[in-house]
Structure 1
Amino acid sequence: MKKIIALLFISIAIAACSDSNFNNRNPYIPNYSFTVEINTNLPLYSDLQYTGNGKLITLNGAGANGIIVFNAGSGNFRAYDASCPNQYPSSCSRLEVEGINAVCPCDDVAYSLFTGLADADVEYPMKPYRVEVNGNVIRVYN
């Protein structure tokens, strides 16, 4: 009887888990492993100290086509791959930061840097990366 009750609880726990249908696998953007540390005290990255500012960073090995780091306020930072998420790699497939959006020059689709979601009906959002903040250093990694 105890085994049946334990099995019932395990079954309920598994059934209660939801699938958010979020798929971070994007056929257009390779899944590279990298770590980048950005010191916001340096003049090149000092804009990231202020809410609503984003920066395209093209350090060697950072993302597939660079990364975009965005200050979402209250010490929260977002980081995304700088490749257009719905385009094959090409000469126009690097996102451009325009205020609080990143715009793909290939198709003029704008993506919110707060959420990574597009303003149009497209298949993939921006590819997010992990972010850790330690004082004035932002660590972005995959």
Structure 2
Amino acid sequence: MKRIFVIIVVLFFLSCDKDKAVNNNQYLQNISFSKEINTNLPQYNSLKFPGNSMVITDAGAGIQGIIVVAAGTNDYRAWEASCPNQYPTACSRLTLDGGYAKCSCENSKYSIYIGNGENGEQYSLKQYRTEILGDVIRVYN
């Protein structure tokens, strides 16, 4: 009986997907998308340099757009460009303010490097996956 229990526990832990980010947020829906960002193009060239970031609002990139951060050499982070603690509205698109994403509706700030809010907000920034394909950064969910 103990062997069966141990096997079940081991199978449970092996079946967990470590790459899958937990993005449960009552305000922001989980949508599927894929956006390829070619850093050789002039509008995205600044992402080749660590410390730079930008908001991309192209159709099909997130809910209200995505924030892409060059956190280091070949280290990119991507976040939803909507305030995470309210439903998407006209004023809930985040803007960049140094190393922070700022929500003008609720006057809150979130780190674009780790996603956490400054004042212990209920939800952190909604993170998306990134993949580096040479000079192309693929952001997807």
TM over 0.5, shorter chain: yes
In our comparison, the structure showing a higher alpha carbon Rg is: 1
Size of the aligned set, in residue pairs, is 136
1:32 aligns to 2:7 (yes or no): no
1:111 aligns to 2:106 (yes or no): no
C-alpha change, 1:8 and 1:67, in structure 2 (3 Å) is same
Q: Percent identity?
A: 46
**Partner amino acid, structure 1, of 2:82:** S
Unpaired runs of 5+ residues, structure 2, are: 15-20
The answer on whether the counterparts of 2:69 and 2:112 sit within 8 Å (CA) in structure 1 is yes
Give the secondary structure class of the aligned counterpart of 2:44.
Answer: helix
- CA positional deviation for 1:13: 4.0
Q: Distance in 2 between matches of 1:12 and 1:137?
A: 40
Deviation readout 1:94-133 (Å, 9 max, x if unpaired): 0001221111111121111111111112110000111000
TM-score, normalised relative to structure 2: 0.87
Q: Distance in 2 between matches of 1:132 and 1:11?
A: 33
Give RMSD over aligned pairs.
2.1
Give the secondary structure class of the aligned counterpart of 1:85.
Answer: coil
Q: Give the aligned partner of residue 9 of structure 1.
A: 6
- CA positional deviation for 1:59: 0.9
C-alpha change, 1:37 and 1:16, in structure 2 (3 Å) is closer
Deviation readout 1:24-51 (Å, 9 max, x if unpaired): 1112112111111001111101111111
TM-score, normalised relative to structure 1: 0.86
The answer on whether the counterparts of 1:101 and 1:113 sit within 8 Å (CA) in structure 2 is yes
What does residue range 1-142 of structure 1 map to in structure 2 within 5 Å?
Answer: 4-10=1-7, 13=10, 23-142=22-141
